Structure 1
Amino acid sequence: MDYEQFKVESDKVFAVLGDKDLPVTLADDIARLKDLAATVEDPQDRWDAEGDIVSIEGILQAGEGADEEPWSDAMNQAVQAHARATDDSGTPAERIARARAGITAISRIADTAPANEQAAIVEMNESLLMLAEALEPDAR
């Protein structure tokens, strides 16, 4: 499997993270992503895939409060911004621009987020940076 194929599957999981009610299959979906990540052929891409999973798990942990409080509007906005930034349509240059715009938007959102969610929001930028860097050779 290549990273782009993995990314399609991980984006589906990222997309539901902002939902008020998380799907009951989420734990199974993450386990499936871990299995898929292990099959990514290129070592750097496999590392990127594993980083995406860490980001997903970090977002979930940030959403787990003592009273299971719902995510803030900032977290929901960040998840939506991430989903838009990882849209795989367009040329490599367009996708890079979208990923970099997502990094800027997510950083701005993190600045206004509750303290307990800031780290998880900023962590979303890691997968966007890896995506932009992976697309760089194709943009030329």
Structure 2
Amino acid sequence: MKAYKFRLQKLLDMRVDKEEECKIEFQRAQNESFRTKEKLMEMKENYRKYNNFSGSSSVIEQKIRHIYINNLSYNIGETVEELNQKEKVVESKREELKQRQIDRKTVEVLKDKYIDDFRREQNRIEQNLNDEFALYGFIRNVKAR
């Protein structure tokens, strides 16, 4: 039986490679988003920590704390915007990855269909040969009698 050679194998290989690249980009985007979330949580924790400070301290320390809290508040706002942008990027990468998977699966389904057709044809040919051998054997037995 001869081996099957899929004519669109290069296309399938290219689509698999593109899907792998897309997976890597998606993971990078997720990691960046995760780091930004951690940074935001750390800033919010520092804000809570220094905002609720009620100890007696000098006016200079209170002023420094107030400036720090204002700066944290500003940075929290910017980090929230940055996080929103990164989550949008993650979502777009997710959609792109889904599309790449659909593209790859389309060609894989086509390949599977062609392989099934090839196997059916090979089985048909093999069955015809077996039938022919059985017929020759029958004819030889009939002539020998």
TM over 0.5: no
Higher normalized contact order (CA 8 Å, seq sep 6+, divided by chain length): 2
Q: Which has the larger radius of gyration?
A: 2
By percentage of residues, which structure has more helix? 2
- TM (norm. structure 2) is 0.31
- TM (norm. structure 1) is 0.32
